[in-house]
Amino acid sequence: MTASRPVSESASQRLRVLIAGGGTGGHVIPALAIAGSLAGKKLIPTTSGTLPTNGTLFVVLLIGTVIIVGALTYFPVLSLGPIVEHFQMLNGKLF
């Protein structure tokens, strides 16, 4: 069973789906597709709500975000080690 499309729909408005599997370049192909899509977009004028990416504020926010995400990623690992050792010590296993 096939779905019918409206006659007025142009080729640029059709839904495009890309399925990438594992293996060589499975994660690269979607990234290239997104990059190509972003490169094809028209530039919009700068407004008061636009965050410039060539300023100090952007660099500080980017580095701060990377540090916070990294800390939140590794903090559970760093905190669970001593907790597990404590429970093992209570069970009589010492290192």
Q: Identify the band that residue 73 occupies on the pLDDT scale cut at 50, 70 and 90.
A: confident
Give the count of alpha carbons within 13 A of 55, CB side only: 6
List pLDDT tens digits, range 21-61.
666 677 788 888 899 998 888 888 888 888 888 889 999 99
Q: What was the pLDDT predicted at 54?
A: 87
What does the alpha-carbon distance between residue 48 and residue 41 come to, in Å, rounded to a whole number?
A: 21
User: Mean pLDDT across the stretch 6-28?
Assistant: 65
- The residues spanned by each domain of the chain are 16-42+51-90
Locus of tokens 């399925």? 19
Burial class (CB in 10 A: 0-12, 13-18, 19+), 29: middle
Q: What was the pLDDT predicted at 12?
A: 57
